[in-house]
Every structure is written in structure tokens, then in C-alpha cells.
């Protein structure tokens, strides 16, 4: 049976090998370098805001937390280089968020506003994913939930409050569409330890249930 010292040495060796190795991207991007791959993702989502976490998962899929942190640092460096060289733009007022072209982003917002004001809803459009608002725009839902709860440690949210924080005020039909997705990701986040469900309560979530216990104890 290995000693604690041997286990620690093995972990250090693994971390060093990860540090110097290139984590493979998803098959769609493996023929490209990282700059080309990011450009392809941003071109796919032209006219929208893409958070760095969204870019990482688009390129690499779901990663273990330690590997995600390592890869995110590399992607951040490439995003910074691409912004400085004019390949894409940082979205003002939204840290960690990028878009292919700010002009396309502004044009898309204006166009969407005009359509929503002047046209009746297209039944086909109801199948599209409803966009989150503000700083959560462009993120994967699980990342947006994690951000919301981590920014409000010690606060308890019910599902309706979470939906309103992420999406703003929605029509009842839109709530029906997003609620199952939010519930699924809340359940996944709780199971994987990203955040906590309030003990002995149904449909209530918080960043860390231990913080609630500390508050009640004091």
C-alpha cells in the first residue's frame, strides 16, 4: 500500500505532466491551433456574447475542475492575444466575455428589438433557447447558476427567483420552457458539489449550506 509521501509525489508528477501537456480539444477543433479554434467558436456565435467558460467548454467539453482551471488560463491568454491583435473584441462592462465584432453585437441587439416590437411571435422561434441576461449572457446554464450562487453566499434562492435573476421577467410560456432545464442543472450542480441544496427543504438552493448553519448558530 503506497504511503502518503508516495501518493503526494504521484500527484505532483501528474500535475507537472498536465502543466506541460496539451489538453486535446474536441474532434471538430483538433486540426486547428487554439487561436483558430476560438475564432471558429466566435464566428459560430457571431452577434452574441460568449463568456470564457462557454468558450472553454465549446472547445474541450466537460473537464475535471483542476484541468478546467489549467485550460481556462491558456484560453484566457489566447483570448487576450486575439483581442489585442484585432481578431475579436472584449465586450465592455462584461468581464471575461468576448464577441467576434462589437458592431455585429450592437446590430443584432437592434434587430432583435425591432423584431420583438413589430412582429408576432414565430411558432418556430419558440423552440430556440431563451437567452440569459446581463453578465450571464453567453454562459452555459450550469456556469451561470454557479456564478449567481457564488456571488450571493449565505443567501437562499427558490427556483422562481433563480429564473428571474438569470433571465429577467419572462412570459409564462417562456418560464415553462426554461424551468425544466434550470431544475436539471440545479440538481446536477448539487450532486457534483458545485453548490448546495438547503437541507430538509424542497426547491431551495444556496452556495454553501454550511454557511447557513454558521449564521443560524451565531
| pLDDT value, residue 213 | 67
Q: Which whole number is the average pLDDT over 51-77?
A: 87
Judged against a pLDDT cut of 60, whether residue 7 lies above it is answered with no
Could you tell me what percent of the chain has a pLDDT over 90?
Answer: 30
**What stretches of the chain adopt beta strand conformation (E)?**
50-51, 89-90, 97-99, 157-158, 196-197, 204-206
Q: Which whole number is the average pLDDT over 75-84?
A: 91
| pLDDT value, residue 2 | 53
| Confidence bin at 106 (pLDDT 50/70/90) | low
| DSSP 8-state class, residue 206 | E
Percent of the chain as helix, strand, coil, to the nearest 5: 60, 5, 30
Judged against a pLDDT cut of 70, whether residue 217 lies above it is answered with no
In this structure, are strands 157-158 and 50-51 parallel, antiparallel, or unpaired? Answer: unpaired
Judged against a pLDDT cut of 60, whether residue 81 lies above it is answered with yes
Q: Which whole number is the average pLDDT over 1-17?
A: 52
Among 57-66, 176-185, 207-216, whose mean pLDDT is lowest?
Answer: 207-216
| Confidence bin at 64 (pLDDT 50/70/90) | confident
Query: Higher confidence at residue 24 or residue 6?
Result: 24
Tell me the pLDDT tens digit for each residue of 151-204: 888 899 999 999 999 999 888 888 988 999 999 999 888 888 888 999 888 889
- Say if residues 182 and 159 touch (Cβ distance below 8 Å): yes
3-state secondary structure 12-62: HHHHHHHHHCCCCCCHHHCCCCHHHHHHHHHHHCCCCCEEHHHHHHHHHCC
| pLDDT value, residue 95 | 80
- Say if residues 159 and 183 touch (Cβ distance below 8 Å): yes
In this structure, are strands 157-158 and 196-197 parallel, antiparallel, or unpaired? Answer: unpaired
Give the three-state DSSP class for 1.
Answer: coil
Tell me the pLDDT tens digit for each residue of 16-36: 444 546 788 999 999 999 999
| pLDDT value, residue 216 | 57
| pLDDT value, residue 186 | 92
Q: Round the average pLDDT of the chain to a whole number and report it.
A: 79
Amino acid at each position: 500500500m503506497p504511503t502518503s509521501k508516495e501518493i503526494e509525489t504521484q500527484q505532483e508528477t501528474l500535475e507537472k505532466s498536465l502543466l506541460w501537456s496539451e489538453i486535446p480539444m474536441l474532434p471538430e477543433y483538433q486540426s486547428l491551433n487554439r487561436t483558430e479554434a476560438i475564432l471558429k467558436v466566435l464566428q459560430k456565435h457571431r452577434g452574441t456574447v460568449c463568456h470564457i467558460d462557454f468558450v472553454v467548454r465549446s472547445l474541450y467539453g466537460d473537464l475535471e475542475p483542476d484541468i478546467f482551471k489549467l485550460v481556462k488560463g491558456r484560453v484566457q491568454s489566447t483570448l487576450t492575444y486575439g483581442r489585442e491583435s484585432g481578431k475579436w473584441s472584449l465586450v465592455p462592462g462584461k468581464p471575461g466575455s468576448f464577441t467576434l465584432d462589437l458592431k455585429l453585437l450592437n446590430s443584432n441587439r437592434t434587430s432583435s428589438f425591432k423584431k420583438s416590437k413589430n412582429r408576432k411571435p414565430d411558432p418556430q422561434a419558440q423552440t430556440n433557447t431563451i437567452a440569459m441576461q446581463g453578465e450571464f449572457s453567453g454562459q452555459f446554464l450550469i456556469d451561470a447558476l454557479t456564478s449567481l450562487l457564488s456571488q450571493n453566499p449565505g443567501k437562499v434562492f427558490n427556483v422562481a427567483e433563480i429564473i428571474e435573476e438569470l433571465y429577467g421577467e419572462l412570459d409564462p410560456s417562456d418560464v415553462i420552457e426554461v424551468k425544466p432545464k434550470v431544475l436539471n442543472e440545479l440538481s446536477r450542480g448539487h450532486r457534483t458539489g458545485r453548490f448546495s441544496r438547503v437541507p430538509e427543504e424542497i426547491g431551495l438552493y444556496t452556495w454553501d449550506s454550511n454557511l447557513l448553519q454558521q449564521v443560524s448558530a451565531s
